[in-house]
A and B are shown apart, each in its own frame.
Chain A
Amino acid sequence: MAILIDRRSRIVVQGLTGSSGRRHGLLCRDYGSQVVAGVTPGKGGMNIDGIPVFDTVAEAVELCQVDVSMIFVPPPAAAEAILEAGDAGIRLAVCITEGIPVQDMVLVNRALGDCSMRLIGPNCPGLITPGQCKVGILPSDIHRPGPIGVVSRSGTLTYEAVQQLSNAGLGQSTCVGIGGDPIIGTSFIDVLAMFNDDADTEGVFLIGEIGGTAEEEAAIWIRQNMRKPVAGYIAGVTAPPGKRMGHAGAIVSGGSGRAADKIAALRNSGVEVAENPALMAEVMQKALRSADIAGHDS
């Protein structure tokens, strides 16, 4: 079952004619995803390696029955691309673009409140349901199908976690990169709730980082609602305050957003938090053992 995407998902790539859109659109198709349409305003009628390109998302929905959009549109036009997807009746938009102005995202975030579309990202690696469907830029070969749901604010750190999990025999139901920006469409809590209700997911690995209070909010939600074991890791214990650590959202400011507070909040909710990034699979196994789920750690 997994969450959000599976082999039936029909995908349009907004920005398919750009270099990143083309490259990753085709890589997703190679993985088995049904990438059936592209959209670039002014380039309708073209095709990219057999994938038809339209001027508008509405045409792609009408003619190709797409329900998922992967967005590779550059920052100045990315917010509009998200709004267009929502208006065209897309179910799930995954925005990979990094560097969208915050003011644009404030408006998008408000508009999504009145629309049924879910947004993942922006500034994210996308998501993958191993063996079925990939929508994003994650390296395919490190993933294995299995019972662990992964949710993360990061990109390459997620790959590190997934490789550790796969090497330890812990495959993944779905891995979701929710993005490193201050305003994102889907929160830890949204994804945790989906994993909670997903029959294929037996445990969840959560990767957070400094900045904001999303991990603290997730910790409260886990304590009150989560029926499955959760393990995690928080990056940035040694990050100096007031400095933006690469991601637009990764900054400790005015005593809030510190890694230590996030780790304490998660541990208070029974989450196994790794002391360092080399121990991510180990804490997941520990969480599964305490919950009496063997996993595949023989």
Chain B
Amino acid sequence: MKLHEYQAKELFHRYGIAVPHSHLVRSIEETGQAADALAGSCIVKAQIHAGGRGKVGGVVRVKTSRQARDAARRLLHRPLVTAQTGPHGLPVNSLLVEEIIPVARELYLSLTLDRSSGRYCLIASAQGGVDIEQTARNTPERVSRLTIDPLIGLRAYHARGVARFLGLDGPLAKEAVALILALNRCFLDRDASLVEINPLVVTEEGHLLAMDAKVSIDDSALFRQKEVADWRDETQFDPLEVRAARSDIAYIKMDGRIGCLVNGAGLAMATLDMLSECGGKPANFLDVGGGADQDKVVEAFRILLEDPTVEGILVNIFGGIMRCDLIAASLIAAAKEVGCSLPIVVRMAGARRKEGRQLLEQAELNIVWQDKLASAAAAIVRHLSPAV
């Protein structure tokens, strides 16, 4: 789960990591007042769950509170499209109005999981403010990666080594050690999957400060991270994704016209791949999960049926724990409730396939039955092709 920059900075502040003075605002009026409080000269930053804001005018440096209001008028309550948001962008509902801080140097610091070793790693670079993956590719010697043994933990001597690598000495090195250890505490306490400061700046006054902040929380740990779990901003997701999440359905909105309902993440991905191989475009990824009951499956069908971009539905079920007849009964119940005239292609295999097929054949729905994945994908694409 991603946090907004202002939420991440709030966390950093609590752990003693210096961040710029700022005000979170939600209207043009508040933006002007916040800019006045900073004597006019400030940075106005759109709060969305994506990077690349600076390049598209989502981070604006202003000199007067009037310019701040203009920036707010331009940004607030409309989507901001960046390289990371996809074509529809993400809605800007709040702005962070921040003091301007004269900067001497820009560094990079982050903690994340290294999947190959199964351990957390601390990544640092003296070259901050730019894409770290690019730096790592082009000049790997400028990026340090420290893998942390969880039984030993991140120690002060590790942090001293990183400070040295960043070219920090004297009082700045001491500040860096404290900051790195604080960042690690924050990372572990909050079950983060990523904490990133880019750039971490050395101010002209000679102090370290987190100019930007990116934090993601491990979704699997949200049950024990109640406070941050409550910080979820549902406006940053497609409304159908929000609805699916409430029923614990893995759902991702996509750009095509074919609604997909599958059990199992791997099979769901494979089904999308098969569709695209047949020239079709999925409207969504949907994994209804292994142990779903009828209510959950009905809700999954409702989500597909209520999506206005869906023009046909492909159901692909491999029964194991999930029984095919339960899927069939749920599809019929949802179609009755919502009213459905869309073409539906159903492919079922495994547990109680026959019973599932029988139920569907008795129902008065526009259903085509297929035995194989490839022919099922081809059939739904064929059904929709006249409209192309």
Contact = CB atoms under 8 A, between A and B. Distances in A.
Interface in A134-193: 137-139, 142, 152-160, 163, 180, 182-183
A102 B221 contact: yes
A238 B272 contact: yes
A233 B265 contact: no
**Interface secondary structure of B, over-half rule:** mixed
Interface in B43-77: none
Nearest to B256: A238
A159 B150 contact: no
A155 B291 contact: no
A183 B319 contact: no
B315 interface: no
Contact of B118 (A152, A183, A207, A236): A183
B250 interface: yes
B315 to A, nearest CB: 13
Interface of A, secondary structure class, is loop
Interface string A187-217: 0000000000000000000010110111001
B14 interface: no
Contacts of A106: 113, 118-120, 150
Contacts of A138: 320
B256 to A, nearest CB: 10
A99 B119 CA distance: 18
Given A100-B220, A137-B320, A153-B266, A277 B254 contact: no
Nearest to A155: B264
B374 A278 contact: yes
Contacts of B275: 238
Interface string B145-188: 00001110000000000000000000000000000000000001
Contacts of B349: 159-160, 163
Interface stretch (B202-210, B282-290, B338-346): B282-290
A242 B84 CA distance: 9
Interface string B258-292: 00001111111111111111000010010100110
A187 to B, nearest CB: 10
Contact of A235 (B113, B116, B269, B290): B269
The 3 A-B pairs of least Cβ separation, nearest first, read A154-B266, A246-B265, A156-B264
Interface of A: 20, 75-76, 99-103, 105-107, 109-111, 125, 137-139, 142, 152-160, 163, 180, 182-183, 207, 209-210, 212-214, 217, 233, 235-240, 242-250, 254-255, 275-278
